[in-house]
């Protein structure tokens, strides 16, 4: 979750900023700026995961409402935490494999 909230993780914008990669383009959809917002809320690669968390919590997550939804109930916190962890795990694996 820390990676998602700080943007210091397996986001191409961050990896390019620390000079481990030349481009900040998304490795899945070639969006020109793969940051936490793009990954969590917009990237087509994670559409299914977004739909699953939407069903679990009963609403769509957005930049504007993420924190308030997480604070509504511990079940929602856990659902969003699981969502973030799953995405980071996939991105770490794919980045390691050079996708």
Q: What is the pLDDT of residue 3?
A: 93
pLDDT(99) > 90: no
N-to-C CA span, the chain: 23
Q: What is the pLDDT of residue 21?
A: 87
Q: Which residue has the tokens 């511990």?
A: 74
pTM: 0.90
Listed by start position, the domains of the chain span: 2-96
pLDDT(88) > 90: yes
The CA distances from residue 16 to 32, 43, 83, in Å, are: 12, 18, 24
pLDDT in tens, 7-63: 999 999 999 999 988 999 999 998 999 999 999 999 999 999 999 999 999 999 999
């Amino acid at each position: 979750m820390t990676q998602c909230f700080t943007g210091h993780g397996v986001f191409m914008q961050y990896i390019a900023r620390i000079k481990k990669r030349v481009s900040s383009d998304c490795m899945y959809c070639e969006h020109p700026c793969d940051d936490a917002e793009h990954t969590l809320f917009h990237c087509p690669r994670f559409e299914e995961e977004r739909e699953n968390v939407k069903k679990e919590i009963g609403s769509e997550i957005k930049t504007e409402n993420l924190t308030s939804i997480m604070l509504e109930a511990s079940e929602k916190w856990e659902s969003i935490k699981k969502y973030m962890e799953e995405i980071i795990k996939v991105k770490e694996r794919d980045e390691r494999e050079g996708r």
